[in-house]
Amino acid sequence: MSEFCFEIPAVRGIQAGREFFTINAPFGVLQRLVAFDTGNVLARS
């Protein structure tokens, strides 16, 4: 079974004892990552 995933380079840091990650990606890629389906669900059923 193929697993769907993205590999995005990130920088890991620690601030105030908490771990965080920062990525740098083009806005077009970010739009695809967080795209929402706003279509009519009932029309597709």
Both tokens of 20, joined, read: 């965080």
Return the pLDDT at 1: 53
pTM: 0.46
Distance between alpha carbon 40 and the CA centroid of its chain, in Å?
23
Site of tokens 């597709």: 44
Return the pLDDT at 2: 66
Q: How far apart are CA 11 and CA 42, in angstroms?
A: 42
> What is the chain's pLDDT, residue by residue, as a tens digit (45 residues)?
567 777 889 999 999 999 999 998 888 888 887 877 777 777 766
Return the pLDDT at 11: 96
